[in-house]
Structure 1
Amino acid sequence: MPRLDEHFWSCSCTTRGRHKNNLRAGTTRLAEKVGDMLTPSVSSASLVLVGQGAINTETTDRNKNSNTKSNNGRAPSNSWHHHLVQRSVVLFAVGVFLALVLNLLQIQRNVTLFPEEVIATIFSSAWWVPPCCGTAAAVVGLLYPCIDSHLGEPHKFKREWASVMRCIAVFVGINHASAKLDFANNVQLSLTLAALSLGLWWTFDRSRSGLGLGITIAFLATLITQFLVYNGVYQYTSPDFLYIRSWLPCIFFSGGVTVGNIGRQLAMGIPEKPHSD
Protein backbone atom coordinates (compact mmCIF):
# COMPACT_ATOMS: atom_id res chain seq x y z
CA MET A 1 0.00 0.00 0.00
CA PRO A 2 2.63 2.55 0.84
CA ARG A 3 4.31 1.94 -2.47
CA LEU A 4 1.01 2.49 -4.34
CA ASP A 5 0.42 5.79 -2.54
CA GLU A 6 3.86 6.92 -3.36
CA HIS A 7 3.29 5.98 -6.96
CA PHE A 8 0.09 8.01 -7.20
CA TRP A 9 1.68 10.99 -5.43
CA SER A 10 4.63 11.07 -7.76
CA CYS A 11 2.38 10.78 -10.79
CA SER A 12 0.16 13.66 -9.65
CA CYS A 13 3.15 15.89 -8.95
CA THR A 14 4.64 15.11 -12.32
CA THR A 15 1.36 15.85 -14.09
CA ARG A 16 0.96 19.15 -12.24
CA GLY A 17 4.51 20.16 -13.18
CA ARG A 18 3.95 19.38 -16.80
CA HIS A 19 0.64 21.29 -16.76
CA LYS A 20 2.35 24.33 -15.22
CA ASN A 21 5.13 24.20 -17.79
CA ASN A 22 2.60 23.99 -20.60
CA LEU A 23 0.72 26.98 -19.19
CA ARG A 24 3.92 29.02 -18.93
CA ALA A 25 4.95 28.12 -22.47
CA GLY A 26 1.51 28.98 -23.82
CA THR A 27 1.52 32.31 -21.98
CA THR A 28 4.95 33.13 -23.35
CA ARG A 29 3.91 32.32 -26.91
CA LEU A 30 0.72 34.35 -26.51
CA ALA A 31 2.71 37.33 -25.23
CA GLU A 32 5.12 37.04 -28.13
CA LYS A 33 2.26 36.97 -30.64
CA VAL A 34 0.58 39.96 -29.02
CA GLY A 35 3.92 41.78 -29.06
CA ASP A 36 4.40 40.96 -32.74
CA MET A 37 0.90 42.24 -33.48
CA LEU A 38 1.36 45.45 -31.49
CA THR A 39 4.85 46.33 -32.79
CA PRO A 40 3.82 47.29 -36.38
CA SER A 41 0.97 49.43 -35.13
CA VAL A 42 3.18 51.24 -32.62
CA SER A 43 5.87 51.75 -35.27
CA SER A 44 3.39 53.11 -37.80
CA ALA A 45 1.91 55.45 -35.20
CA SER A 46 5.34 56.74 -34.26
CA LEU A 47 6.20 57.23 -37.95
CA VAL A 48 3.00 59.19 -38.49
CA LEU A 49 3.80 61.42 -35.52
CA VAL A 50 7.36 61.96 -36.72
CA GLY A 51 6.13 62.74 -40.23
CA GLN A 52 3.62 65.24 -38.95
CA GLY A 53 6.32 66.90 -36.87
CA ALA A 54 8.62 67.15 -39.88
CA ILE A 55 5.84 68.65 -42.02
CA ASN A 56 5.01 71.20 -39.34
CA THR A 57 8.68 72.11 -38.97
CA GLU A 58 9.10 72.49 -42.74
CA THR A 59 5.99 74.67 -42.96
CA THR A 60 7.24 76.87 -40.13
CA ASP A 61 10.65 77.23 -41.79
CA ARG A 62 9.01 78.18 -45.10
CA ASN A 63 6.88 80.81 -43.41
CA LYS A 64 9.93 82.24 -41.64
CA ASN A 65 11.93 82.29 -44.88
CA SER A 66 9.11 83.99 -46.77
CA ASN A 67 8.71 86.61 -44.04
CA THR A 68 12.46 87.19 -43.97
CA LYS A 69 12.61 87.61 -47.76
CA SER A 70 9.69 90.02 -47.77
CA ASN A 71 11.22 92.07 -44.97
CA ASN A 72 14.63 92.06 -46.64
CA GLY A 73 13.01 93.14 -49.92
CA ARG A 74 11.26 96.05 -48.27
CA ALA A 75 14.21 97.27 -46.22
CA PRO A 76 16.65 97.85 -49.14
CA SER A 77 13.90 99.49 -51.18
CA ASN A 78 12.99 101.93 -48.40
CA SER A 79 16.64 102.59 -47.61
CA TRP A 80 17.49 103.23 -51.27
CA HIS A 81 14.65 105.71 -51.70
CA HIS A 82 15.59 107.41 -48.43
CA HIS A 83 19.19 107.91 -49.62
CA LEU A 84 17.94 109.14 -53.01
CA VAL A 85 15.86 111.86 -51.36
CA GLN A 86 18.75 112.87 -49.11
CA ARG A 87 21.17 113.16 -52.04
CA SER A 88 18.64 115.18 -54.05
CA VAL A 89 18.15 117.65 -51.20
CA VAL A 90 21.90 118.08 -50.66
CA LEU A 91 22.59 118.56 -54.37
CA PHE A 92 19.74 121.06 -54.67
CA ALA A 93 21.13 123.07 -51.75
CA VAL A 94 24.62 123.04 -53.30
CA GLY A 95 23.23 124.23 -56.63
CA VAL A 96 21.30 127.06 -54.99
CA PHE A 97 24.35 128.20 -53.01
CA LEU A 98 26.68 128.15 -56.01
CA ALA A 99 24.10 129.98 -58.15
CA LEU A 100 23.72 132.76 -55.59
CA VAL A 101 27.46 133.24 -55.10
CA LEU A 102 28.59 132.93 -58.72
CA ASN A 103 25.70 134.86 -60.19
CA LEU A 104 26.38 137.68 -57.75
CA LEU A 105 29.94 137.88 -59.07
CA GLN A 106 28.73 138.01 -62.67
CA ILE A 107 26.23 140.78 -61.84
CA GLN A 108 28.77 142.85 -59.92
CA ARG A 109 31.19 142.73 -62.86
CA ASN A 110 28.37 143.67 -65.26
CA VAL A 111 28.81 140.45 -67.19
CA THR A 112 25.18 139.37 -66.70
CA LEU A 113 22.39 141.93 -66.86
CA PHE A 114 18.84 141.34 -65.62
CA PRO A 115 15.91 143.70 -66.16
CA GLU A 116 15.29 145.91 -63.15
CA GLU A 117 11.74 144.63 -62.66
CA VAL A 118 12.88 141.02 -62.04
CA ILE A 119 15.61 141.86 -59.51
CA ALA A 120 13.75 141.60 -56.24
CA THR A 121 15.39 138.91 -54.13
CA ILE A 122 18.55 138.24 -52.17
CA PHE A 123 21.89 139.12 -53.82
CA SER A 124 19.98 141.25 -56.35
CA SER A 125 19.35 138.28 -58.61
CA ALA A 126 16.30 137.01 -60.44
CA TRP A 127 14.09 134.84 -58.24
CA TRP A 128 14.07 131.91 -60.66
CA VAL A 129 17.86 131.53 -60.95
CA PRO A 130 18.56 129.69 -57.63
CA PRO A 131 15.69 127.14 -57.99
CA CYS A 132 16.63 126.40 -61.59
CA CYS A 133 20.31 125.94 -60.75
CA GLY A 134 19.42 123.80 -57.72
CA THR A 135 17.20 121.54 -59.82
CA ALA A 136 19.89 121.25 -62.51
CA ALA A 137 22.49 120.38 -59.86
CA ALA A 138 20.24 117.66 -58.41
CA VAL A 139 19.65 116.12 -61.85
CA VAL A 140 23.32 116.22 -62.85
CA GLY A 141 24.54 114.95 -59.47
CA LEU A 142 22.19 111.96 -59.60
CA LEU A 143 22.92 111.30 -63.27
CA TYR A 144 26.69 110.87 -62.94
CA PRO A 145 26.71 107.82 -60.58
CA CYS A 146 23.74 106.38 -62.48
CA ILE A 147 25.65 106.48 -65.78
CA ASP A 148 28.73 105.00 -64.10
CA SER A 149 26.64 102.10 -62.80
CA HIS A 150 24.97 101.59 -66.20
CA LEU A 151 28.30 101.51 -68.03
CA GLY A 152 29.84 99.22 -65.41
CA GLU A 153 32.70 101.65 -64.81
CA PRO A 154 32.65 102.75 -61.16
CA HIS A 155 34.56 105.96 -60.64
CA LYS A 156 37.44 105.38 -58.20
CA PHE A 157 39.80 108.25 -59.02
CA LYS A 158 40.39 110.47 -55.95
CA ARG A 159 37.21 109.40 -54.20
CA GLU A 160 37.48 111.54 -51.10
CA TRP A 161 35.79 114.68 -49.83
CA ALA A 162 39.06 116.64 -49.75
CA SER A 163 39.40 116.15 -53.51
CA VAL A 164 35.77 117.17 -54.04
CA MET A 165 36.26 120.37 -52.05
CA ARG A 166 39.36 121.23 -54.09
CA CYS A 167 37.34 120.66 -57.26
CA ILE A 168 34.69 123.11 -56.03
CA ALA A 169 37.39 125.66 -55.26
CA VAL A 170 38.86 125.33 -58.76
CA PHE A 171 35.41 125.70 -60.33
CA VAL A 172 34.76 128.89 -58.34
CA GLY A 173 38.18 130.13 -59.46
CA ILE A 174 37.34 129.48 -63.13
CA ASN A 175 34.06 131.36 -62.78
CA HIS A 176 35.87 134.17 -61.00
CA ALA A 177 38.46 134.33 -63.78
CA SER A 178 35.71 134.69 -66.40
CA ALA A 179 34.56 137.89 -64.70
CA LYS A 180 37.83 139.34 -63.45
CA LEU A 181 40.48 138.61 -66.07
CA ASP A 182 40.91 141.10 -68.89
CA PHE A 183 42.17 139.80 -72.22
CA ALA A 184 42.68 141.50 -75.52
CA ASN A 185 39.66 139.67 -76.93
CA ASN A 186 37.08 137.08 -75.92
CA VAL A 187 38.76 134.35 -77.96
CA GLN A 188 41.85 134.39 -75.73
CA LEU A 189 39.67 134.34 -72.62
CA SER A 190 37.60 131.47 -74.01
CA LEU A 191 40.70 129.40 -74.86
CA THR A 192 42.14 130.03 -71.39
CA LEU A 193 38.93 128.97 -69.65
CA ALA A 194 38.63 125.93 -71.91
CA ALA A 195 42.15 124.84 -70.89
CA LEU A 196 41.31 125.39 -67.23
CA SER A 197 38.08 123.40 -67.55
CA LEU A 198 39.83 120.46 -69.20
CA GLY A 199 42.51 120.68 -66.51
CA LEU A 200 39.78 120.46 -63.85
CA TRP A 201 38.38 117.32 -65.50
CA TRP A 202 41.83 115.74 -65.82
CA THR A 203 42.76 116.55 -62.22
CA PHE A 204 39.56 115.44 -60.47
CA ASP A 205 37.73 113.09 -62.84
CA ARG A 206 39.58 111.45 -65.77
CA SER A 207 36.60 109.26 -66.71
CA ARG A 208 35.07 108.90 -70.15
CA SER A 209 31.58 109.16 -68.70
CA GLY A 210 32.54 112.39 -66.92
CA LEU A 211 33.96 113.89 -70.10
CA GLY A 212 30.96 112.86 -72.19
CA LEU A 213 28.41 114.09 -69.68
CA GLY A 214 30.32 117.35 -69.22
CA ILE A 215 30.28 118.07 -72.94
CA THR A 216 26.59 117.12 -73.19
CA ILE A 217 25.67 119.34 -70.24
CA ALA A 218 27.64 122.25 -71.69
CA PHE A 219 25.89 121.88 -75.07
CA LEU A 220 22.35 121.64 -73.62
CA ALA A 221 22.90 124.42 -71.09
CA THR A 222 24.26 126.69 -73.82
CA LEU A 223 21.18 126.06 -75.97
CA ILE A 224 18.87 126.87 -73.06
CA THR A 225 20.82 130.03 -72.32
CA GLN A 226 20.61 131.07 -75.95
CA PHE A 227 16.85 130.59 -75.83
CA LEU A 228 16.46 132.66 -72.65
CA VAL A 229 18.64 135.50 -73.91
CA TYR A 230 16.90 135.48 -77.29
CA ASN A 231 13.54 135.92 -75.55
CA GLY A 232 14.82 138.84 -73.46
CA VAL A 233 14.81 137.12 -70.06
CA TYR A 234 18.32 138.49 -69.45
CA GLN A 235 21.39 139.40 -71.49
CA TYR A 236 25.20 139.43 -71.55
CA THR A 237 27.44 142.40 -72.11
CA SER A 238 29.67 142.19 -75.18
CA PRO A 239 28.15 138.99 -76.63
CA ASP A 240 30.39 137.33 -79.20
CA PHE A 241 28.74 133.92 -79.70
CA LEU A 242 25.06 134.09 -80.70
CA TYR A 243 23.82 136.49 -77.99
CA ILE A 244 26.11 135.04 -75.28
CA ARG A 245 29.79 134.98 -74.33
CA SER A 246 31.94 132.36 -76.03
CA TRP A 247 33.44 131.17 -72.73
CA LEU A 248 30.04 130.23 -71.22
CA PRO A 249 30.18 126.57 -72.37
CA CYS A 250 33.46 126.22 -70.44
CA ILE A 251 31.70 127.34 -67.26
CA PHE A 252 28.89 124.85 -67.85
CA PHE A 253 31.39 122.04 -68.53
CA SER A 254 33.42 122.63 -65.39
CA GLY A 255 30.23 123.07 -63.36
CA GLY A 256 28.88 119.74 -64.60
CA VAL A 257 32.11 117.93 -63.69
CA THR A 258 32.12 119.54 -60.23
CA VAL A 259 28.51 118.70 -59.41
CA GLY A 260 29.04 115.22 -60.83
CA ASN A 261 31.92 114.61 -58.43
CA ILE A 262 29.75 115.77 -55.54
CA GLY A 263 27.01 113.39 -56.63
CA ARG A 264 29.45 110.49 -56.95
CA GLN A 265 30.82 111.12 -53.50
CA LEU A 266 27.34 111.25 -51.99
CA ALA A 267 26.48 107.97 -53.74
CA MET A 268 29.33 106.06 -52.10
CA GLY A 269 28.24 103.45 -49.54
CA ILE A 270 24.52 103.56 -50.34
CA PRO A 271 22.48 100.34 -50.81
CA GLU A 272 21.99 99.12 -54.34
CA LYS A 273 18.75 99.71 -56.14
CA PRO A 274 16.42 96.73 -55.53
CA HIS A 275 15.60 94.60 -58.59
CA SER A 276 12.07 93.38 -59.14
CA ASP A 277 11.73 89.58 -59.43
Structure 2
Amino acid sequence: MPRLDDHCWSCSCAQGARHRGRPGAGAGGLAAKVGDMLSPAALAARRGPDPDPAPTRGPRSPGAGGRGAGGGPPGSWHHHLVQRSLVLFSVGVVLALVLNLLQVQRNVTLFPEEVIATIFSSAWWVPPCCGTAAAVVGLLYPCIDSHLGEPHKFKREWASVMRCVAVFVGINHASAKLDFANNVQLSLTLAALSLGLWWTFDRSRSGLGLGITIAFLATLITQLLVYNGVYQYTSPDFLYIRSWLPCIFFSGGVTVGNIGRQLAMGLPEKPHSD
Protein backbone atom coordinates (compact mmCIF):
# COMPACT_ATOMS: atom_id res chain seq x y z
CA MET A 1 0.00 0.00 0.00
CA PRO A 2 1.60 3.22 -1.06
CA ARG A 3 2.20 5.82 1.56
CA LEU A 4 0.99 9.47 1.50
CA ASP A 5 4.50 10.90 1.37
CA ASP A 6 5.15 9.03 -1.87
CA HIS A 7 2.18 10.74 -3.54
CA CYS A 8 3.33 14.19 -2.38
CA TRP A 9 6.87 13.55 -3.57
CA SER A 10 5.76 12.36 -6.97
CA CYS A 11 3.40 15.35 -7.53
CA SER A 12 5.94 17.95 -6.58
CA CYS A 13 8.60 16.33 -8.73
CA ALA A 14 6.28 16.13 -11.72
CA GLN A 15 5.33 19.81 -11.44
CA GLY A 16 8.95 20.80 -11.09
CA ALA A 17 9.84 18.78 -14.15
CA ARG A 18 7.14 20.46 -16.17
CA HIS A 19 8.41 23.91 -15.13
CA ARG A 20 11.97 22.93 -15.94
CA GLY A 21 10.85 21.70 -19.35
CA ARG A 22 9.54 25.26 -20.22
CA PRO A 23 12.24 27.68 -19.15
CA GLY A 24 11.10 31.28 -19.00
CA ALA A 25 7.40 30.39 -19.00
CA GLY A 26 6.92 31.55 -15.44
CA ALA A 27 8.79 34.84 -16.08
CA GLY A 28 6.78 35.52 -19.23
CA GLY A 29 3.50 34.95 -17.45
CA LEU A 30 4.57 37.22 -14.61
CA ALA A 31 5.54 39.98 -17.05
CA ALA A 32 2.20 39.64 -18.83
CA LYS A 33 0.31 39.94 -15.57
CA VAL A 34 2.32 43.02 -14.54
CA GLY A 35 1.68 44.60 -17.96
CA ASP A 36 -2.04 44.00 -17.63
CA MET A 37 -2.04 45.55 -14.17
CA LEU A 38 -0.19 48.66 -15.38
CA SER A 39 -2.30 49.21 -18.51
CA PRO A 40 -4.33 52.49 -18.70
CA ALA A 41 -7.63 50.60 -18.61
CA ALA A 42 -6.67 48.78 -15.45
CA LEU A 43 -5.41 51.95 -13.80
CA ALA A 44 -8.63 53.78 -14.74
CA ALA A 45 -10.71 50.92 -13.33
CA ARG A 46 -8.74 51.01 -10.08
CA ARG A 47 -8.98 54.85 -9.84
CA GLY A 48 -12.72 54.93 -10.45
CA PRO A 49 -14.76 57.63 -12.23
CA ASP A 50 -13.42 61.19 -12.34
CA PRO A 51 -15.38 63.29 -9.81
CA ASP A 52 -15.05 66.42 -11.90
CA PRO A 53 -14.74 65.57 -15.59
CA ALA A 54 -13.65 68.37 -17.90
CA PRO A 55 -16.39 69.59 -20.25
CA THR A 56 -16.15 68.44 -23.81
CA ARG A 57 -14.80 71.16 -26.05
CA GLY A 58 -14.59 71.50 -29.75
CA PRO A 59 -11.36 71.90 -31.66
CA ARG A 60 -9.27 74.70 -30.23
CA SER A 61 -8.58 77.57 -32.50
CA PRO A 62 -5.05 78.88 -33.04
CA GLY A 63 -5.90 81.80 -30.79
CA ALA A 64 -7.01 79.65 -27.85
CA GLY A 65 -5.18 79.51 -24.58
CA GLY A 66 -5.37 83.21 -23.74
CA ARG A 67 -3.90 84.45 -27.00
CA GLY A 68 -5.31 86.56 -29.73
CA ALA A 69 -5.79 85.65 -33.36
CA GLY A 70 -2.37 86.99 -34.18
CA GLY A 71 -0.70 84.63 -31.73
CA GLY A 72 0.11 87.28 -29.14
CA PRO A 73 -1.46 87.86 -25.74
CA PRO A 74 -4.99 89.32 -25.73
CA GLY A 75 -3.79 92.73 -24.57
CA SER A 76 -1.14 93.16 -27.27
CA TRP A 77 -3.64 94.36 -29.90
CA HIS A 78 -5.05 96.99 -27.56
CA HIS A 79 -1.53 98.02 -26.55
CA HIS A 80 -0.53 98.61 -30.18
CA LEU A 81 -3.82 100.44 -30.81
CA VAL A 82 -3.05 102.89 -28.01
CA GLN A 83 0.50 103.37 -29.30
CA ARG A 84 -0.71 104.09 -32.83
CA SER A 85 -3.34 106.50 -31.51
CA LEU A 86 -0.73 108.46 -29.54
CA VAL A 87 1.64 108.65 -32.51
CA LEU A 88 -1.13 109.82 -34.86
CA PHE A 89 -2.35 112.35 -32.29
CA SER A 90 1.18 113.76 -31.99
CA VAL A 91 1.50 113.96 -35.79
CA GLY A 92 -1.81 115.81 -36.02
CA VAL A 93 -0.79 118.28 -33.32
CA VAL A 94 2.56 119.04 -34.99
CA LEU A 95 1.00 119.48 -38.43
CA ALA A 96 -1.73 121.70 -36.99
CA LEU A 97 0.78 123.96 -35.25
CA VAL A 98 3.03 124.30 -38.28
CA LEU A 99 0.38 124.65 -40.99
CA ASN A 100 -1.97 126.83 -38.98
CA LEU A 101 0.95 129.11 -38.11
CA LEU A 102 1.55 129.58 -41.82
CA GLN A 103 -2.10 130.45 -42.44
CA VAL A 104 -2.21 132.91 -39.56
CA GLN A 105 1.03 134.65 -40.55
CA ARG A 106 -0.28 135.15 -44.10
CA ASN A 107 -3.56 136.51 -42.71
CA VAL A 108 -5.50 133.77 -44.43
CA THR A 109 -7.02 132.60 -41.13
CA LEU A 110 -7.98 135.18 -38.52
CA PHE A 111 -8.71 134.37 -34.88
CA PRO A 112 -10.20 136.83 -32.38
CA GLU A 113 -7.60 138.41 -30.14
CA GLU A 114 -9.12 137.01 -26.95
CA VAL A 115 -8.71 133.36 -28.01
CA ILE A 116 -5.04 133.56 -28.97
CA ALA A 117 -3.37 131.61 -26.19
CA THR A 118 -0.29 129.86 -27.59
CA ILE A 119 3.15 130.85 -28.80
CA PHE A 120 2.11 129.75 -32.28
CA SER A 121 -0.53 132.49 -32.50
CA SER A 122 -3.40 130.04 -32.68
CA ALA A 123 -6.42 129.15 -30.59
CA TRP A 124 -5.73 126.63 -27.84
CA TRP A 125 -8.31 124.16 -29.14
CA VAL A 126 -6.86 123.84 -32.66
CA PRO A 127 -3.94 121.42 -31.90
CA PRO A 128 -5.94 118.93 -29.78
CA CYS A 129 -8.82 118.93 -32.26
CA CYS A 130 -6.49 118.31 -35.19
CA GLY A 131 -4.63 115.63 -33.20
CA THR A 132 -7.87 113.82 -32.40
CA ALA A 133 -8.99 114.02 -36.03
CA ALA A 134 -5.61 112.67 -37.18
CA ALA A 135 -5.88 109.72 -34.76
CA VAL A 136 -9.39 108.86 -35.97
CA VAL A 137 -8.46 109.13 -39.66
CA GLY A 138 -5.18 107.24 -39.25
CA LEU A 139 -6.93 104.35 -37.50
CA LEU A 140 -9.86 104.37 -39.92
CA TYR A 141 -7.84 103.87 -43.11
CA PRO A 142 -6.31 100.43 -42.25
CA CYS A 143 -9.61 99.39 -40.67
CA ILE A 144 -11.52 100.10 -43.90
CA ASP A 145 -8.82 98.31 -45.91
CA SER A 146 -9.21 95.23 -43.72
CA HIS A 147 -13.02 95.39 -43.90
CA LEU A 148 -12.99 95.59 -47.70
CA GLY A 149 -10.39 92.85 -47.95
CA GLU A 150 -8.12 95.09 -50.01
CA PRO A 151 -4.84 95.56 -48.12
CA HIS A 152 -2.97 98.60 -49.32
CA LYS A 153 0.35 97.52 -50.84
CA PHE A 154 1.30 100.51 -53.00
CA LYS A 155 4.57 102.13 -51.89
CA ARG A 156 4.49 100.75 -48.37
CA GLU A 157 7.70 102.19 -46.93
CA TRP A 158 8.46 105.07 -44.60
CA ALA A 159 10.44 106.95 -47.25
CA SER A 160 7.30 107.18 -49.40
CA VAL A 161 5.23 108.27 -46.39
CA MET A 162 7.69 111.05 -45.58
CA ARG A 163 7.57 112.26 -49.18
CA CYS A 164 3.78 112.30 -48.97
CA VAL A 165 3.98 114.47 -45.84
CA ALA A 166 6.37 116.84 -47.60
CA VAL A 167 4.03 117.17 -50.59
CA PHE A 168 1.09 117.86 -48.27
CA VAL A 169 3.01 120.58 -46.47
CA GLY A 170 3.92 122.02 -49.88
CA ILE A 171 0.25 122.09 -50.94
CA ASN A 172 -0.69 123.91 -47.76
CA HIS A 173 2.21 126.28 -48.24
CA ALA A 174 1.05 126.99 -51.79
CA SER A 175 -2.45 127.83 -50.55
CA ALA A 176 -0.99 130.63 -48.43
CA LYS A 177 1.88 131.81 -50.63
CA LEU A 178 0.72 131.60 -54.24
CA ASP A 179 -1.07 134.59 -55.68
CA PHE A 180 -3.59 133.94 -58.44
CA ALA A 181 -5.96 136.25 -60.23
CA ASN A 182 -8.85 134.72 -58.27
CA ASN A 183 -9.56 131.95 -55.81
CA VAL A 184 -11.06 129.72 -58.49
CA GLN A 185 -7.73 129.35 -60.28
CA LEU A 186 -6.00 128.65 -56.96
CA SER A 187 -8.65 126.09 -56.07
CA LEU A 188 -8.30 124.26 -59.38
CA THR A 189 -4.51 124.20 -59.02
CA LEU A 190 -4.70 122.82 -55.48
CA ALA A 191 -7.31 120.27 -56.55
CA ALA A 192 -4.96 118.99 -59.25
CA LEU A 193 -2.10 118.82 -56.74
CA SER A 194 -4.25 116.96 -54.23
CA LEU A 195 -5.36 114.37 -56.79
CA GLY A 196 -1.74 114.04 -57.87
CA LEU A 197 -0.78 113.35 -54.25
CA TRP A 198 -3.41 110.60 -54.03
CA TRP A 199 -2.32 109.09 -57.36
CA THR A 200 1.36 109.18 -56.42
CA PHE A 201 1.16 107.80 -52.88
CA ASP A 202 -2.16 105.96 -52.59
CA ARG A 203 -4.12 104.89 -55.71
CA SER A 204 -6.67 102.93 -53.68
CA ARG A 205 -10.43 103.22 -53.96
CA SER A 206 -10.79 103.28 -50.20
CA GLY A 207 -8.25 106.11 -49.96
CA LEU A 208 -10.09 108.15 -52.58
CA GLY A 209 -13.49 107.55 -50.99
CA LEU A 210 -12.31 108.33 -47.48
CA GLY A 211 -10.45 111.42 -48.68
CA ILE A 212 -13.58 112.82 -50.33
CA THR A 213 -15.70 111.99 -47.27
CA ILE A 214 -13.19 113.63 -44.92
CA ALA A 215 -13.02 116.72 -47.14
CA PHE A 216 -16.82 117.03 -47.14
CA LEU A 217 -17.27 116.56 -43.39
CA ALA A 218 -14.33 118.80 -42.46
CA THR A 219 -15.55 121.54 -44.80
CA LEU A 220 -19.03 121.35 -43.28
CA ILE A 221 -17.64 121.60 -39.73
CA THR A 222 -15.44 124.55 -40.76
CA GLN A 223 -18.45 126.33 -42.25
CA LEU A 224 -20.31 125.94 -38.96
CA LEU A 225 -17.34 127.21 -36.92
CA VAL A 226 -16.89 130.27 -39.11
CA TYR A 227 -20.64 130.91 -39.13
CA ASN A 228 -20.65 130.96 -35.32
CA GLY A 229 -17.75 133.45 -35.24
CA VAL A 230 -15.10 131.13 -33.83
CA TYR A 231 -12.70 132.37 -36.52
CA GLN A 232 -12.87 133.62 -40.10
CA TYR A 233 -11.17 133.52 -43.48
CA THR A 234 -10.15 136.53 -45.50
CA SER A 235 -11.79 136.88 -48.94
CA PRO A 236 -14.21 133.92 -48.59
CA ASP A 237 -15.67 132.74 -51.89
CA PHE A 238 -17.28 129.42 -50.88
CA LEU A 239 -19.98 130.48 -48.42
CA TYR A 240 -17.90 131.43 -45.35
CA ILE A 241 -14.57 129.86 -46.35
CA ARG A 242 -12.22 129.69 -49.27
CA SER A 243 -12.97 127.29 -52.08
CA TRP A 244 -9.55 125.61 -51.90
CA LEU A 245 -10.02 124.43 -48.30
CA PRO A 246 -11.60 121.05 -49.28
CA CYS A 247 -8.44 120.29 -51.27
CA ILE A 248 -6.36 120.78 -48.12
CA PHE A 249 -8.64 118.47 -46.16
CA PHE A 250 -8.53 115.84 -48.92
CA SER A 251 -4.74 115.79 -49.17
CA GLY A 252 -4.43 115.86 -45.38
CA GLY A 253 -6.72 112.84 -45.06
CA VAL A 254 -4.68 110.88 -47.63
CA THR A 255 -1.43 111.82 -45.88
CA VAL A 256 -2.57 110.88 -42.38
CA GLY A 257 -4.16 107.72 -43.77
CA ASN A 258 -0.84 106.61 -45.25
CA ILE A 259 0.84 107.21 -41.89
CA GLY A 260 -1.83 105.12 -40.18
CA ARG A 261 -1.44 102.33 -42.72
CA GLN A 262 2.31 102.26 -42.26
CA LEU A 263 1.97 102.13 -38.47
CA ALA A 264 -0.47 99.22 -38.79
CA MET A 265 1.96 97.05 -40.76
CA GLY A 266 3.19 93.91 -38.99
CA LEU A 267 0.98 94.37 -35.93
CA PRO A 268 -1.10 91.55 -34.36
CA GLU A 269 -4.63 91.15 -35.61
CA LYS A 270 -7.67 92.01 -33.54
CA PRO A 271 -8.58 89.08 -31.26
CA HIS A 272 -11.85 87.30 -32.10
CA SER A 273 -14.20 86.04 -29.42
CA ASP A 274 -14.96 82.30 -29.41
Is 1:190 the counterpart of 2:187? The answer is: yes
How far the C-alpha of 1:201 sits from its partner, in A, is 0.1
How far the C-alpha of 1:22 sits from its partner, in A, is 4.4
Is 1:49 the counterpart of 2:55? The answer is: no
Is 1:70 the counterpart of 2:65? The answer is: yes
Of stretches 70-79 and 80-89 in structure 1, the one that deviates more from structure 2 is 70-79
Distance 1:119 1:50, change over 3 A: same
CA distance in 2, matches of 1:18, 1:88: 100
CA distance in 2, matches of 1:135, 1:124: 20
How far the C-alpha of 1:122 sits from its partner, in A, is 2.0
Deviation beyond 6 Å, 4+ runs, structure 1: 16-19, 27-30, 38-41, 50-53
Say how many residue pairs are matched.
Answer: 252
Secondary structure at the aligned position of 2:189 is classed as: helix
Secondary structure at the aligned position of 2:65 is classed as: helix
| Counterpart residue identity of residue 71, structure 1 | G
Contact 2:72 2:268 in 1 (8 A): no
How far the C-alpha of 1:45 sits from its partner, in A, is 2.7
Secondary structure at the aligned position of 2:241 is classed as: coil
Matched residue, 2:107:
110
How far the C-alpha of 1:78 sits from its partner, in A, is 0.9
Contact 2:138 2:261 in 1 (8 A): yes
Secondary structure at the aligned position of 1:154 is classed as: coil
Distance 1:23 1:139, change over 3 A: closer
Which 5+ residue runs of structure 2 have no aligned equivalent?
A: none
CA distance in 2, matches of 1:120, 1:136: 21
Is 1:162 the counterpart of 2:156? The answer is: no
Matched residue, 1:267:
264
- Written as runs of structure 1 = structure 2, the 5 A alignment for 1:57-206 is 69-73=64-68, 75-206=72-203
Q: Percent identity?
A: 80
Distance 1:149 1:23, change over 3 A: closer
Given the alignment, which residue of 232, 240, 244 partners 1:243? 240
Distance 1:26 1:137, change over 3 A: closer
Matched residue, 1:24:
13
Structure 1 residues 97-137: Cα deviation after superposition (integer angstroms, max 9, x where no partner): 00000000000100000000001212110000000000000
Given the alignment, which residue of 250, 253, 267 partners 1:253? 250
Contact 1:76 1:274 in 2 (8 A): no
Structure 1 residues 216-254: Cα deviation after superposition (integer angstroms, max 9, x where no partner): 000000000000000000000000001000000000000
Matched residue, 1:9:
none
When normalised by structure 1's length, the TM-score is 0.82
Matched residue, 2:208:
211
CA distance in 1, matches of 2:104, 2:12: 124
How far the C-alpha of 1:24 sits from its partner, in A, is 1.7
Matched residue, 1:5:
none
Secondary structure at the aligned position of 2:156 is classed as: coil
Matched residue, 1:225:
222
Give me the CA root mean square deviation. Answer: 3.3
How far the C-alpha of 1:50 sits from its partner, in A, is 7.8
Distance 1:219 1:42, change over 3 A: same
Contact 1:76 1:271 in 2 (8 A): no
CA distance in 2, matches of 1:267, 1:109: 36
Which protein shows a greater Rg?
Answer: 1
CA distance in 1, matches of 2:44, 2:131: 66
Distance 1:43 1:128, change over 3 A: closer
